Amino acid sequence: MYSDKVIDHFTNPRNVGEIADANGIGEVGNAKCGDIMRIYLDIEDNVIKDVKFKTFGCGAAVATSSILTEMVMGKTVEEALKISNDAVAEALDGLPPLKMHCSNLAADALQAAIKDYQSKNNHVV
Ligand code: FES
């Protein structure tokens, strides 16, 4: 049912935790299941230097968040904003259709964290 990449990122999730002095934090809830995701960003000179996540989500949410952190590390804010939930699911070699909504949690929390960063730094959102 799950790809090897999903199982790898679920059993060995990357970048779990918090960033104490994060300058962008995004928290979202999944309307379909009620699970929650929080993403912490450390952005310097418009580049994502560090990213961590915490989730009260399912295995697919853990795997999508884990691979998302790898995808955005070192990216500019603009590049990170272009990462869609479909791109996250594709990077994991797909998710079962019933689990596609779980990838929204990671992508939406990332967008929320970037918006938080931009609002704190007086960017036009
Ligand atoms: Fe809630 Fe997957 S079932 S995030």
Query: How high is the pLDDT of residue 82?
Result: 94
Taking the centre of ligand 1 as the mean of its atom positions, its distance from the CA of residue 57, in whole angstroms, is 5
> Model confidence at 91, in pLDDT bands (50, 70, 90)?
very high
- Domain architecture of the chain: domains with CATH: 4-118 (3.90.1010.10)
- Give yes or no for residue 57 CB within 6 A of ligand 1: yes
- Give yes or no for residue 60 CB within 6 A of ligand 1: yes
- Give yes or no for residue 87 CB within 6 A of ligand 1: no
pTM of the model: 0.93
Report long-range pairs for 1-5 (Cβ below 8 Å, ≥24 apart).
Answer: 1/96, 2/59, 2/60, 2/63, 2/95, 2/96, 3/92, 3/93, 3/94, 4/93, 5/63, 5/67, 5/91, 5/92, 5/93
> Model confidence at 3, in pLDDT bands (50, 70, 90)?
very high
Taking the centre of ligand 1 as the mean of its atom positions, its distance from the CA of residue 98, in whole angstroms, is 10
Query: How high is the pLDDT of residue 59?
Result: 94
Query: How high is the pLDDT of residue 125?
Result: 52
Query: How high is the pLDDT of residue 123?
Result: 64
Taking the centre of ligand 1 as the mean of its atom positions, its distance from the CA of residue 27, in whole angstroms, is 15
Is the confidence at residue 102, as pLDDT, over 60? yes
Q: Residues with catalytic annotation?
A: 33, 102
Query: How high is the pLDDT of residue 31?
Result: 84
Provide the token pair at 101: 């909504």
Mean of the pLDDT values across residues 74-79? 97
pLDDT in tens, 15-66: 999 999 999 999 999 888 999 999 999 999 999 999 999 999 999 999 999 9
* Closest atom of ligand 1 relative to the 55 alpha carbon: 4
